[in-house]
Amino acid sequence: DQQVKQNSPSLSVQEGRISILNCDYTNSMFDYFLWYKKYPAEGPTFLISISSIKDKNEDGRFTVFLNKSAKHLSLHIVPSQPGDSAVYFCAASDGQGGKLIFGQGTELSVKP
């Protein structure tokens, strides 16, 4: 069973516009959520995180929103840049052992 789901395998956005990447989860015990960005042939790079006690966290062009009742989180990138083109993974933790449960990733393409 897939506890963390990213239902869109790919997303294409015009440079300067907003990119919205979505993630759904099923386990109500998850209390910490992260977004990672991955370029080809490189390891995932931490982007932004949010604790379950918050519903929004912002860092520059990146904002993560958490809707606990819907078990849904999203990553907003504004404005999108060509260098943002990568695969984005959302991940969740229940804080019990540190291991992360990852979604399958969404490949973002930002076109000039």
Partner 1 sequence: GAGVSQSPSNKVTEKGKDVELRCDPISGHTALYWYRQSLGQGLEFLIYFQGNSAPDKSGLPSDRFSAERTGGSVSTLTIQRTQQEDSAVYLCASSSFRGSTDTQYFGPGTRLTVL
Q: How far apart are CA 14 and CA 2, in angstroms?
A: 31
**Residues 37 and 17: beta-carbon distance below 8 Å:** no
Give how many residues touch partner 1 by CB under 8 A: 28
- Residue 57 interacting with partner 1 (CB under 8 A): no
- Residue 101 interacting with partner 1 (CB under 8 A): yes
Instruction: Choose which of 34, 75, 77, 110 interacts with partner 1 (CB under 8 A).
Output: 34
- Residue 110 interacting with partner 1 (CB under 8 A): no
The string over 80-91, giving b where at least 16 C-beta atoms fall within 10 Å of a residue's C-beta and e elsewhere, is beeebbbbbbbb
Range in contact with partner 1 (rule: CB under 8 A) among 11-19, 26-34, 54-62, 70-78: 26-34
